[in-house]
Structure 1
Amino acid sequence: MNAELLASLRTITDEEKALLQGNTSIQKGIYTSKKDFVIDNERLLAKGRLIEIRPHTRFAHFPKHRHNYVEMVYMCAGSTTHIINDTDRIVLEAGDLLFLSQSATQEILPAGEDDIAVNFIILPEFFDRPLSMIERDNVLRDFLISTLSGSGSRITYLQFRAKDILPIQNLIENML
């Protein structure tokens, strides 16, 4: 990854500063107003936007939650550990991608200073046009259709090891 971009992503956010100063838990009010921990796209997306990118919050355990959007996590450096649907322990390493549907639950163990990930917050309607271009028998297409239709599917997340796939790395860097 481009060194300048990675240095920018390493910048400690205000939320992370509060965590380092002793406030040891995630401030749920940043992410939701609901009693259940469902991260709300309206808290993270500017009005009228279909996609937003934000750095993953480090230094704290991110408790079990869901999203009301599709989340894509890209691991830029280091690693993070995710517990998906209470049972699947996924370790993302540099170059890995993780897609989560709205029905997946996710818990994230604390990330250190050098564990740099970015979260893509994506509204389902973002996929309307690209979905029509994906071939029929494709796991990504099946994942998107089940996510967008809200139907219960056994596919609630997809993980891709993309560390050595230069076009994917370039695409992510350009998006960032």
Structure 2
Amino acid sequence: MDLYKLLMERTEEEEKILKDRRKVEKGLYTDEKDFVIQREKFLSPEKMIMVRKHTRFVDFPNHKHNYIEINYVYSGQLKQTIGEEKITLQQGDLLFLNQHIEHEIEACGNEDLVINFIIHPQFFDDVLMYLSSETIENKIGDFFISSLFNQTQAGQYLHFVVDEIQSIQEWVHKIIQEIMQPTVLSESTIKLYMGLLMIELIKHSDKVKSQRQQYIDYQFVMESLTYIEQNYQNASLYDLADKLNQPHYSLSKAIKQATKHTFKELLQDKRLNKSKELLHHSNLPIASIIEEVGYSNISYFYRIFKRKYGYTPKNLRRSYNKS
């Protein structure tokens, strides 16, 4: 894949900007009054991650987005202002932006080729299983916790100056290629690659610059998320507290304080997400799926499932089959 040649081609949006000297066409990015770029404009319901070339030749006004964004500078540079801080990304740099960050971007020139990763926050539920609290340096762990659980409305970013780290550049390119040239195994492959990329970034955490927030004590949160990921069928707060050698009430309080969710809510969300995945990718009977994810009360499952997704399991599976 000749990515450079592909990125150099002008998009329809870029052609219009050059021809008419237009500003950003807000309707392409959001339906909201405020400039909050919506992931729904780019991600279909069944997709968790995609890449999109950053539009050149136009200033992007101050905006937010309801997804986690990663800017990757393929060539040239990217200048932006986050809050009051001006940041210039050079070739090979990565910038992680959580879903509450507010920033504005200067117009890119013809040779400034930037790839934007648009990522549903839930995507990192699976990526986090590759990591442990001992391996995550504070600002990296705090970024993901706050991104996943809306810990702060102020926004955070991580700027990785990693152009000379060959392993990181290779993983980024592998992810881009997998997204742009998908196969039946791409979804699983991308999660694996992203997990390996995170590990490489953590190894080189000395290369990260961040907007420092008041860090949370996330050690037990990370271990709790890993426990839920691996034991969602039979997980319980008391069992987790026993494994961590913590009183269940203090552990419950720590989880709630860090994520704004109770242990029960986190567990329920994991079970429902897993059931949705099984409805989409398996032929198991619905009753078997309900049992598989750890529920015995079918009517209760139907009620919480419809409350979360707006469909019954049967109707959701039918929609998947049609598509």
Class of the TM-score when normalised by the shorter of the 2 chains: over 0.9
Identity %: 38
Cα distance in structure 2, aligned partners of 1:111 and 1:122: 22
Aligned-pair distance for 1:88? 1.2
Aligned-pair distance for 1:148? 0.8
**What is the match of residue 146 of structure 1?**
146
Deviations 1:18-71 (A, max 9, x none): 000024200111100001000000001123100010000100000000010000
Deviations 1:103-123 (A, max 9, x none): 110100000000000000000
**What is the match of residue 28 of structure 2?**
30
Matched, 1:11 2:13: no
**What is the match of residue 161 of structure 1?**
161
**What is the match of residue 111 of structure 1?**
108
1:15-94 alignment, distance < 5 Å = 15-85=13-83, 87-94=84-91
Aligned-pair distance for 1:159? 0.1
Residue 22 of structure 2 aligns to a residue in which SS? coil
Cα distance in structure 2, aligned partners of 1:172 and 1:53: 11
Residue 107 of structure 1 aligns to a residue in which SS? strand
Aligned-pair distance for 1:171? 1.1
Structure 1-normalised TM-score?
A: 0.93
Larger Rg: 2
Aligned-pair distance for 1:133? 2.6
Residue 57 of structure 2 aligns to a residue in which SS? coil
Q: Give every structure 1 segment of 4 or more consecutive aligned residues whose post-TM-superposition deviation is greater than 4 Å.
A: none
**What is the match of residue 95 of structure 1?**
92
Name the CA shift for 1:59/1:132 in 2 (closer, same or farther; >3 Å): same
Confirm or deny: 8 A CA contact 1:143 1:155 kept in the other structure.
Answer: no
Residue 125 of structure 2 aligns to a residue in which SS? helix
State the structure with bigger RCO (CA 8 A, min sep 6), 1 or 2. Answer: 1
Residue 17 of structure 2 aligns to a residue in which SS? helix
Give 5+ residue unaligned stretches, structure 2. 177-323
Aligned-pair distance for 1:6? 1.1
Confirm or deny: 8 A CA contact 2:102 2:155 kept in the other structure.
Answer: no
Confirm or deny: 8 A CA contact 1:66 1:103 kept in the other structure.
Answer: yes
Moved more, 126-135 or 49-58: 126-135
Give 5+ residue unaligned stretches, structure 1. none
Residue 21 of structure 1 aligns to a residue in which SS? helix
Equivalenced residue count is 173
Q: CA RMSD in A?
A: 1.5
Aligned-pair distance for 1:170? 0.9
| More strand, by proportion | 1
**What is the match of residue 173 of structure 2?**
173
Deviations 1:104-157 (A, max 9, x none): 101000000000000000001100022133232422221010111101177600
| More helix, by proportion | 2
